[in-house]
Amino acid sequence: MPQKILVIGGVALGPKAACRCKRLLPDAEVTLIDENVNISYGGCGIPYYVSGEVNTVNDLRATPYNVIRDPKFFAELKDVTVRIQTRATAIDRAAKLVRVKNVVTGEEDTLSYDKLVLATGASPRVPPVEGHDLGNVLSLTRLEAAETIRHACENGSVKEAVVVGGGFIGLEAAVALADMWGVKVSVVEMMDQILPGVLSAQLARMAAVDCTKHNTDVYTGEKVLRLEGKDGKVCKVVTDKREIEAQLVIFAAGFTPNGQLAKDAGLDVTPFGAITVNEYMQTSDPDIYAGGDCVSIPNLITGKPGYLPLGSMANRQGRVIGTNLAGGKATFPGYVGTWIVKLFDMSFCGVGLTIDKARKEGFDAVSVSVEQVDRAHFYPEKELMSLEIVVDKASRRVLGMQGACTAGDALKARIDAVAGALQFAKPTVDDISNLEISYAPPFAGAMDVVNVVANVADNVLAGRFTPITADKFMELWQNRADNNVFFIDARPAKAGKAVQEQYPDWHSIPLEEIRARVNEVPKDRPVALICNTGLRAYDTLLVLARHGVTDLCNSMGGMQAVMKMGLKP
Amino acid sequence: MPQKILVIGGVALGPKAACRCKRLLPDAEVTLIDENVNISYGGCGIPYYVSGEVNTVNDLRATPYNVIRDPKFFAELKDVTVRIQTRATAIDRAAKLVRVKNVVTGEEDTLSYDKLVLATGASPRVPPVEGHDLGNVLSLTRLEAAETIRHACENGSVKEAVVVGGGFIGLEAAVALADMWGVKVSVVEMMDQILPGVLSAQLARMAAVDCTKHNTDVYTGEKVLRLEGKDGKVCKVVTDKREIEAQLVIFAAGFTPNGQLAKDAGLDVTPFGAITVNEYMQTSDPDIYAGGDCVSIPNLITGKPGYLPLGSMANRQGRVIGTNLAGGKATFPGYVGTWIVKLFDMSFCGVGLTIDKARKEGFDAVSVSVEQVDRAHFYPEKELMSLEIVVDKASRRVLGMQGACTAGDALKARIDAVAGALQFAKPTVDDISNLEISYAPPFAGAMDVVNVVANVADNVLAGRFTPITADKFMELWQNRADNNVFFIDARPAKAGKAVQEQYPDWHSIPLEEIRARVNEVPKDRPVALICNTGLRAYDTLLVLARHGVTDLCNSMGGMQAVMKMGLKP
């Protein structure tokens, strides 16, 4: 008797598991069911369809070689049976049966299985606010919603839009609307920063500046209270701080794993509703596998169960499940949390824990950031990159790294190199100081920014200098009437003098002049240093320290970081 | 008594070690000597100065904040004493003295040390051919040589140039001359491919095609016999196969580590002349450190002593030495061999062993290559990336990865992610299948090319399909009169039919038609499949296998790889 494989869910993981299994076990009877019409589509591409960068919905449904992945495709080329518009309503594990229902006809049926795969995905979280069911209030997870939004943009009926949630999808949607359609967008985020949980406050501030520069207002620490409508369509968003006109509202406030079917069948699920799986992606019933947005997998940094709903995770897990359905022993050990997002001019990327998350997880952690160009400083084409490293103080273990750059691929290269290390080891600051990335002047610095940020962390851990973030520096500066800080701008005279003319307390002492003018610096006051990126200030600090000035702090990332955060003296 | 630190050599590692030590140990007396006038310059930037991308020699001598790193800079800002034009002639380890000689005045002197650093670098290998001492015959390691070449290009006296050696520096020089100055360049390489030792024959063929497309001839397996001159300047290069007119010859035939001073002092050196150091970068005399282009360090893939003269290695090792000079315990465990080079349209990048090197090192290895776009296939801006993975068959251990792409940073991101893993673990094919790189459609595929190449390797190791390289496919095709192979082009009819019209043996059977036309395919002959990148052919192969066609092989990288290698049916 051929094995019967049944897969519930047909977006990313389901088709991958089904086809992989079928390839390894050509005699198996593989059936995939999904309650929707569209299956096997690139859900992560939806914002790019909304923006118009992806031309048609079918581009998201096609293979790289341009064949639509519909039930016929799976039948003819993959020998996998697909039943669309078919919802699984219950699993009888004892009898190995799944109860299904056609969502159009209501017809019910029972499918038997030898091995079952749950690829039920996740549902967008829609806050239960008044008006959430109005027209033009959508989540960005279904192709149908994407078509509605794109159509509304194309016919010009959207002048203003509100995105609720400043995470990846929310911001990608905001970029699509503002950048490509000229819509005035407001992002409303409950937390006190955008990209919460994945960026530090400082880097998130840079992300917000990138948004506000591009017709996109960012309101953080703000809650949507209700939506108001007109003729059944949304026309206004009311928050706890303001009212915003909007002809379109996109909810992007996170996801809830679809674990109910599993839970009802008595399978283990986490308190937040994700299905529990082992490293073979098996649920608590070894004949039932699960993966993708509906499961919890270990966070390899904390060692605790975690949740990372990403299309790339689903694809890789799908292959593991397919192998194991066919009798293999493939494993998926967990995740380190690598991500990237393209906003307007800037891209942001990260891996592992942010400083806030690290502290929440109980680490005695510190974070250090730098601004440095992404290739040899003498190479003509280069971009300034911000990198922040998060480190456990006692063990020197690197817990995460995040960054920002206009050159997204270059940023990705640094973060992914660290991700490669984090997945297989517990690298220390010293390991990242020595991290061997590929080097040639058009692509990296001889002492590359990814090494430098670790070097700076090493110096900070050793107490060799006291770093402050650029926004903290500006806070000190704004409060200079109340503190006794002496401010030094170590940039070339031209840059520093311009500020000093306006504010005499801003002391322009270029690095080149510091030895001659060292006596201008008081030894009995705290001294705060700034320059363009941090390097001149560091060299100035070394000279001052040799001359007995000891209470020194250096602004990380210098004026470049100040400007990226939208601040000024 | 303050510690006396003496550093011999002032390009990359020497200044880094000196300044790091001085920072940690402010009371130390740190002296650096170098036999040249220019110190602390970005030697890797020389080809970019030749090309004009870097404006002036001083750009290579300046800090990122634009201060020239001359002896005055080191004295005033780093408190490090620099003596230029000073050659170390002997080390008396018992007395802890170094004999030095001023190369201009001939004056001799003796410097004492508590700790000594050898940063003596490497010398370009100049083949002892007749005419190697003619005018305009240069190596690209000194700023002075770079100025001579740039000047010759600027005044138009170079129409044709020969580069001897097709490694990184040779090719960077060729690009500088051909791309920026319109010089007709010939690269002469003794080995049977360019970039020997770091690329497979297939990828090297793509690199050669990139050169020949851009006014740069590539002659491999060819030896320079002599140079001929006119008025003291070179005018012709004679090889064992041809004569090439040339008004400029650049020798870029590798480096010899400068280990003689160490050897004369009784320190351990390897048979190839590099100084032996431990993980603290100490020589066999614990008070003498060495690093950079003059030392041998462990290759972490093979576990054997190796040699990797790169500016980035020198900088990182310099910091380790600086720390240890100051009493620290920093380590430099070795290298995995990560590199990148930008040619004309294409960049090439790699880590670890090539297939040839792996076999030479005794591994029973296989390599597998793919062509896939570097981001989501539905994303509008994307480039085709070639990736090749090298795997030990029995252990499934990944020994290396190399690639080619017009998007250099995107290629770097994949290779560096694998490098991050290779430095801290011995990842298997399965680990790279699961490698968690950052994902969003503008930057990666949901099943990214770096995962796919490992997936394909997994399938090949399991014997699920027989891969052939694209050039091997074309060899089968060219020899079709003598073999019994049945050729299938699985691309859409339009592409395949065009070839079939010319060559009836080239069977255009698009993937979409394979089920209907499966009986056209003989079961008693070997079948070779090709498509655009390999995907359609793979899906075709699966259908054929289900229908009893068993002797199947699939061309890796498809017609894209064929074209990149400059081949055609």
Contact A333 B417 (CB under 8 A): no
Whether residue B379 is found in the same domain as residue B436: yes
By Cβ distance, the residue of B78, B315, B417 closest to A417 is B417
The answer, yes or no, to whether residue A546 has pLDDT greater than 90, is no
Whether residue A357 is found in the same domain as residue A303: no
Intra-chain end-to-end CA distance of chain A, in Å: 77
The answer, yes or no, to whether residue A1 has pLDDT greater than 90, is no
CA gap A337, A357 in Å, rounded: 12
Segment A46-71, tens digit of pLDDT: 999 999 999 999 999 999 888 899 99
Please name the amino acid found at residue A38.
Answer: N
Strand partners, B398: B391
DSSP string spanning B33-85? E-SSS--S--GGGHHHHHHTSS--HHHHHB-TTS-B-SHHHHHHHH--EEE-S
Do the Cβ atoms of B227 and B236 come closer than 8 Å? Answer: yes
Examine the fold and report which residue of A437, A461, A485 is the final residue of a domain before the chain moves on: A461
- The pair of three-digit structure tokens given for residue B356, joined into one six-digit string: 């040839």
**What 3-state class would DSSP assign to B171?**
helix
Do the Cβ atoms of B130 and B226 come closer than 8 Å? Answer: yes
Strand partners, A269: A275
> Which chain B residues are closer than 8 Å to A172 by Cβ?
440
Mean pLDDT of all residues in A151-166: 95
Interface test with A, best of B339, B436, B533, B541 (most A CBs within 10 A): B436
By Cβ distance, the residue of B413, B425, B546 closest to A413 is B413
Mean pLDDT of all residues in B174-202: 97
> Which chain A residues are closer than 8 Å to B79 by Cβ?
546
Closest-CA distance of chain A to residue B508, Å: 16
Please name the amino acid found at residue B200.
Answer: S
Closest to A444 measured CA to CA, from A418, A398, A413: A413
CATH of the domain at B540: 3.40.250.10
> Which chain A residues are closer than 8 Å to B539 by Cβ?
77-78
* Mean per-residue pLDDT of chain B: 96
Angle at B463 between CA B459 and CA B467, to 5 degrees: 70
Helix axes A449-461, B311-325, angle to 10 degrees: 10
Mean pLDDT of all residues in B203-222: 98
Note the pLDDT of residue B466: 86
Whether residue A452 is found in the same domain as residue A361: yes
Intra-chain end-to-end CA distance of chain B, in Å: 77
Residue B331 lies in a domain: no
Closest-CA distance of chain A to residue B509, Å: 14
Contact A425 B424 (CB under 8 A): yes
CA gap A311, B99 in Å, rounded: 64
Q: Where are the alpha helices (DSSP H) in B265-354?
A: 311-325
The answer, yes or no, to whether residue B546 has pLDDT greater than 90, is no
Checking A157-160 for CB contacts under 8 A at 24+ apart, the result is A157/A247, A158/A183, A158/A247, A158/A248, A159/A183, A159/A184, A159/A247, A160/A184, A160/A185, A160/A186, A160/A244, A160/A245, A160/A246, A160/A247, A160/A248
Segment A107-116, tens digit of pLDDT: 999 999 999 9
Whether residue A112 is found in the same domain as residue A150: no
Active site residue A44: yes
Do the Cβ atoms of B220 and B166 come closer than 8 Å? Answer: yes
Residue B340 lies in a domain: no
Tally the domains of chain B: 4
Angle at B292 between CA A434 and CA B398, to 5 degrees: 50
Tokens 């593991």 belong to residue: A320
Strand partners, B122: B257
Mean pLDDT of all residues in A344-351: 98
Whether residue B357 is found in the same domain as residue B310: no
Closest-CA distance of chain A to residue B238, Å: 32
Q: Is A253 exposed, middle or buried (0-12, 13-18, 19+ CB in 10 A)?
A: buried
If one counts every other C-beta atom within 10 angstroms of the C-beta of residue A568, the result is 10
pLDDT band for A181, please (50, 70, 90 cuts). Answer: very high
CA dihedral (A378, A382, A384, A387) positive or negative:
negative
Closest-CA distance of chain A to residue B340, Å: 5
Contact A347 B443 (CB under 8 A): yes
The answer, yes or no, to whether residue A142 has pLDDT greater than 90, is no
- The pair of three-digit structure tokens given for residue A384, joined into one six-digit string: 């300034």
By Cβ distance, the residue of B310, B311, B532 closest to A65 is B532
By Cβ distance, the residue of B338, B436, B447 closest to A437 is B338
Residue A357 lies in a domain: yes
The answer, yes or no, to whether residue A133 has pLDDT greater than 90, is yes
Contact B23 A542 (CB under 8 A): yes
Whether residue A62 is found in the same domain as residue A168: no
Examine the fold and report which residue of B325, B360, B386 is the final residue of a domain before the chain moves on: B325
Q: CA nearest B44 in A: which residue?
A: A441
Do the Cβ atoms of A131 and A234 come closer than 8 Å? Answer: yes
Whether residue B224 is found in the same domain as residue B197: yes
Mean pLDDT of all residues in B156-161: 95
Q: Which of A19, A21, A44, A531 is catalytic?
A: A44
> Which chain B residues are closer than 8 Å to A447 by Cβ?
16, 312, 315-316, 319
Whether residue B117 is found in the same domain as residue B261: yes
Name the more confident of B422 and B127.
Answer: B422
The answer, yes or no, to whether residue A530 has pLDDT greater than 90, is yes
CA gap B535, A28 in Å, rounded: 23
DSSP string spanning B175-193? HIIIIIH--EEEEEESSSS
CATH of the domain at A432: 3.30.390.30
Q: Is B481 exposed, middle or buried (0-12, 13-18, 19+ CB in 10 A)?
A: exposed
Contact A438 B424 (CB under 8 A): no
Segment A394-414, tens digit of pLDDT: 999 999 999 999 999 999 999
Contact B435 A421 (CB under 8 A): no
* Mean per-residue pLDDT of chain A: 96
Residue A127 lies in a domain: no
Give the start-end residues of each E strand in A270-315: 275-276, 288-290, 295-298, 305-306
Please name the amino acid found at residue B276.
Answer: T
Note the pLDDT of residue B227: 98
CA gap A547, A540 in Å, rounded: 11
Segment A418-462, tens digit of pLDDT: 999 999 999 999 999 999 999 999 999 999 999 999 999 999 999
DSSP string spanning A155-221? TT--SEEEEE--SHHHHHHHHIIIIIH--EEEEEESSSSSSTTTS-HHHHHHHHHHHHTTTEEEEES
CATH of the domain at A242: 3.50.50.60
The answer, yes or no, to whether residue A349 has pLDDT greater than 90, is yes
3-state secondary structure string, B430-457?
HHHHCCCCCCCCCCCCCCCHHHHHHHHH
Q: CA nearest A408 in B: which residue?
A: B443
Q: Is A106 exposed, middle or buried (0-12, 13-18, 19+ CB in 10 A)?
A: exposed
Task: Please list, in sequence order, all residues whose beta carbon lies within 8 angstroms of the beta carbon of residue B472, skipping any fewer than 6 positions away.
Answer: B555
Whether residue B232 is found in the same domain as residue B156: yes
Interface test with A, best of B51, B312, B339, B535 (most A CBs within 10 A): B312
Residue A569 lies in a domain: no
Q: Is A406 exposed, middle or buried (0-12, 13-18, 19+ CB in 10 A)?
A: middle
Q: CA nearest A328 in B: which residue?
A: B462
The answer, yes or no, to whether residue B464 has pLDDT greater than 90, is no
Q: Which of B21, B44, B211, B294 is catalytic?
A: B44
Residue A337 lies in a domain: no
- The pair of three-digit structure tokens given for residue A161, joined into one six-digit string: 């839009």
Residue B339 lies in a domain: no
CA gap B563, B176 in Å, rounded: 25
The answer, yes or no, to whether residue B371 has pLDDT greater than 90, is yes
CA gap B535, B558 in Å, rounded: 8
Contact A437 B431 (CB under 8 A): no
pLDDT band for B550, please (50, 70, 90 cuts). Answer: confident
Note the pLDDT of residue A293: 97
Name the more confident of B395 and B539.
Answer: B395
Do the Cβ atoms of B385 and B405 come closer than 8 Å? Answer: yes
**Alpha carbon of A382 to those of A206, A230, A449: distances in Å?**
19, 50, 12
Note the pLDDT of residue B445: 96
Contact A417 B414 (CB under 8 A): no
> Which chain B residues are closer than 8 Å to A21 by Cβ?
none
Q: CA nearest B435 in A: which residue?
A: A420
By Cβ distance, the residue of B12, B376, B430 closest to A42 is B376
DSSP B519: G
Task: Please list, in sequence order, all residues whose beta carbon lies within 8 angstroms of the beta carbon of residue B255, skipping any fewer than 6 positions away.
Answer: B122, B123, B124, B125, B293, B309
Whether residue A260 is found in the same domain as residue A116: yes
Examine the fold and report which residue of B428, B461, B494 is the final residue of a domain before the chain moves on: B461
CA gap A500, A22 in Å, rounded: 72
CA gap A508, A487 in Å, rounded: 9
Whether residue B113 is found in the same domain as residue B174: no
Lowest mean pLDDT: which of A304-318, A454-468, B165-179, B381-395?
A454-468
Contact B414 A416 (CB under 8 A): yes
Whether residue A267 is found in the same domain as residue A244: no
> Which chain A residues are closer than 8 Å to B378 by Cβ?
42, 45, 48, 54, 59-60, 62
Residue B529 lies in a domain: yes
Please name the amino acid found at residue A226.
Answer: R
Note the pLDDT of residue A248: 97
Mean pLDDT of all residues in B453-480: 94
The answer, yes or no, to whether residue B185 has pLDDT greater than 90, is yes
Mean pLDDT of all residues in B49-77: 92
**What 3-state class would DSSP assign to A464?**
coil
Segment A265-293, tens digit of pLDDT: 999 999 999 999 999 999 999 999 999 99
Closest to A50 measured CA to CA, from A188, A217, A173, A184: A173
Note the pLDDT of residue A220: 98
Contact A436 B338 (CB under 8 A): yes
CA gap B299, B291 in Å, rounded: 15
CA gap A248, A234 in Å, rounded: 7
Closest-CA distance of chain A to residue B250, Å: 20
Contact B319 A433 (CB under 8 A): yes
Closest to A458 measured CA to CA, from A391, A553, A528, A387: A391
Contact A424 B421 (CB under 8 A): yes
The answer, yes or no, to whether residue A25 has pLDDT greater than 90, is yes
CA dihedral (B467, B470, B471, B476) positive or negative:
positive
Considering all CA atoms of chain A, what is the largest pairwise distance in Å, rounded to the nearest integer? 91
pLDDT band for B273, please (50, 70, 90 cuts). Answer: very high
**What range defines the domain where residue B84 resides?**
4-122+256-325
Note the pLDDT of residue B381: 94
Please name the amino acid found at residue B402.
Answer: Q
Note the pLDDT of residue B66: 87
The answer, yes or no, to whether residue A223 has pLDDT greater than 90, is yes
